[in-house]
Structure 1
Amino acid sequence: MAKQAQDHGPASAVDGGAHQSIARLDLLMSVLASSKGEGLKLMDVCRLSGLGKATVHRLLTGLVQYRLADHDDATGRYFIGYKVLTWAAGAGERYGLARLARPGLERIAARFEDAVYLMVRHGDEAVCLDRVEGTFPIRTLAFKVGDHRPLGVGAGNTALLAFLPDEEVARILREGAAARAPHGIADADLRAIIAAARRTGYTFVDSKVIPGIATLGVPVPGADGRPVAAISVSAISDRMGEARRAEIATAVTAEAAALAQELGPLLASGARPPAARR
């Protein structure tokens, strides 16, 4: 199987197995999303997906027909379809999380002038559900809305990991090693970040994901104490000295607590956002 297929989707997308059709559609949508708006030609999609030309052409034709993909006749390039934006908006409103969190994110960004993110768990990854850019001239935009990375890569992602039960943390560290490897974060460093977070209540990652960029993350706890989301702030490392970091941590912790209180009635039945389930 092609390495690219391993990067973008489950083995069943190429090799058969349960839900192969869905797996292949997921794989192609992920490949199209990876083009960063530049689009991909048919052979590029074949190369990146590891699927045959006939299969890719048939699936792309169906995606275009249902507006999940667009095809530019002039260039021959395929793009992820605008219809996905409608679905994304619906996902972002699960439990009203993005709507409820937005005022707090804006308050943090206005006060500290740095970028603020809302992260939610999706399996063993974290997805950026919302972002507010700060006004500081040097931008530190580590995530776009919709971006996803393994748990343990970045302060917000690690805040979602650090406050899980020990056995679940151990499983994710063990099973997610290959996914984290391209990001260059050693397990020993990640374990140290988790241990520090459990002492301080927040994660702090400096220059481990992006050189010269520091991030601080705070979990938004559910009624059972497990994180339902995380709020993080990124800035150039020079702006994350000990005193300012403590000030940011205090402010973000207060906003996370307020958001948790607002979410409480919505989760009173004991349900958790499906994105938080493995």
Structure 2
Amino acid sequence: MAPVQDAGAWRLPVADGDGSRFRPGLSILTLGYSALDTVELAALARPLLEDIANRFKAAASLSTREGTSMLYLQRCEAGDAYLRLNVRVGSEVPIISSGTGWAYLAGLPAAQRKQVMQECRKADPALYRNAEKPALAAIADFGRDGYVTNVDTFFPGLTTVSIPLAMEPVPYVLICTSASSVFAPTAVREEAGQALIAAAKQLRPIVERLAAD
């Protein structure tokens, strides 16, 4: 599996103090209004993500696509979360092997999904061979459940529940990751999925407003 990577500083909002507020880093200003919109969305999403993280002893996050990876824009961890994966704002995970990537793929039209998966295969053929089957199964389950689940597939001991928040003009995904023991009951995974769906309903009007500005 490709390692979690840190994104370059030019992509990142800068945390103030304890990380409860964000401001754009100096170089992010060169990216224009779309980058500033992302910073605003990450800040506005934080209270919702904190609530979800606390409910499920989890980390709750907002991500977007960056090449053949998913880039974390916001991440909130519960004080009692039991996580063995060092992911933070600016980290990247591969689309093809991560729950957040699978939710992104699930939100795409079929033709675009096929194109992105071909890009993932070209970027890392070995990883793609291992990940294609579980990724396609998770995408199929999204049509039934309304959320995507990744149980122990590439991050042993961790389960991720995720949903696509928006695909246009910028793709965003909401993620909740906790110990697999927490998410072992189907009812708890369903509860987490519904919590993400409820958060998405609150955030989509913000995404639409930012896109229209």
> Is this a same-fold pair by TM over 0.5?
yes
Against the structure 1 CA distance between its residues 110 and 137, is the aligned structure 2 distance closer, same or farther, given a 3 Å change threshold? closer
Alignment-mate amino acid for residue 237 of structure 1? S
1:184, CA displacement in angstroms?
7.0
Deviation readout 1:114-154 (Å, 9 max, x if unpaired): 11111111233210111111122522445221111332221
Against the structure 1 CA distance between its residues 227 and 256, is the aligned structure 2 distance closer, same or farther, given a 3 Å change threshold? farther
1:93, CA displacement in angstroms?
3.8
Work out whether 1:128 is the aligned partner of 2:68.
Answer: no
Distance in 1, Cα, partners of 2:29 & 2:152: 32
Work out whether 1:217 is the aligned partner of 2:157.
Answer: no
Distance in 1, Cα, partners of 2:171 & 2:198: 16
- Paired-residue identity, %: 28
Deviation readout 1:1-43 (Å, 9 max, x if unpaired): xxxxxx9xxxxxxxxxxxxxxxxxxxxxxx9x69xxxxxxxxx
Select the structure that is richer in helix: 1
1:248, CA displacement in angstroms?
0.8
Asked if the contact 2:163–2:197 (Cα under 8 Å) also holds between the matched residues in 1, the reply is yes
> 3-state DSSP class of the match of 2:171?
strand
Work out whether 1:151 is the aligned partner of 2:95.
Answer: yes
Q: In the alignment, which of 97, 103, 106 is matched to residue 50 of structure 2?
A: 106
Q: In the alignment, which of 206, 209, 223 is matched to residue 151 of structure 2?
A: 206
Work out whether 1:231 is the aligned partner of 2:171.
Answer: no
Work out whether 1:87 is the aligned partner of 2:34.
Answer: no
Structure 1: give runs of 5+ residues left out of the alignment.
Answer: 1-6, 8-30, 35-83, 270-278
Asked if the contact 2:37–2:210 (Cα under 8 Å) also holds between the matched residues in 1, the reply is no
Structure 2: give runs of 5+ residues left out of the alignment.
Answer: 8-23
Distance in 2, Cα, partners of 1:258 & 1:186: 32
> 3-state DSSP class of the match of 1:138?
coil
Against the structure 1 CA distance between its residues 89 and 197, is the aligned structure 2 distance closer, same or farther, given a 3 Å change threshold? farther
Asked if the contact 2:139–2:148 (Cα under 8 Å) also holds between the matched residues in 1, the reply is yes
The number of residues matched between the two structures is 188
Distance in 2, Cα, partners of 1:217 & 1:208: 14
Asked if the contact 2:165–2:204 (Cα under 8 Å) also holds between the matched residues in 1, the reply is yes
> 3-state DSSP class of the match of 1:156?
helix
Alignment-mate amino acid for residue 164 of structure 1? L
Distance in 2, Cα, partners of 1:176 & 1:264: 28
1:111, CA displacement in angstroms?
2.0
1:88, CA displacement in angstroms?
5.7
Aligned pairs for 1:111-190 (under 5 A) are 111-141=55-85, 143-180=87-124, 181-182=126-127, 185-190=130-135
> 3-state DSSP class of the match of 1:144?
coil
Alignment TM-score, normalising by the size of structure 1: 0.60
Aligned to 1:250: 194
Alignment TM-score, normalising by the size of structure 2: 0.76
Select the structure that is richer in strand: 2
Asked if the contact 1:128–1:146 (Cα under 8 Å) also holds between the matched residues in 2, the reply is yes
1:86, CA displacement in angstroms?
4.2
Alignment-mate amino acid for residue 180 of structure 2? S
Deviation readout 1:89-112 (Å, 9 max, x if unpaired): 987643422112111111111222
1:160, CA displacement in angstroms?
1.2
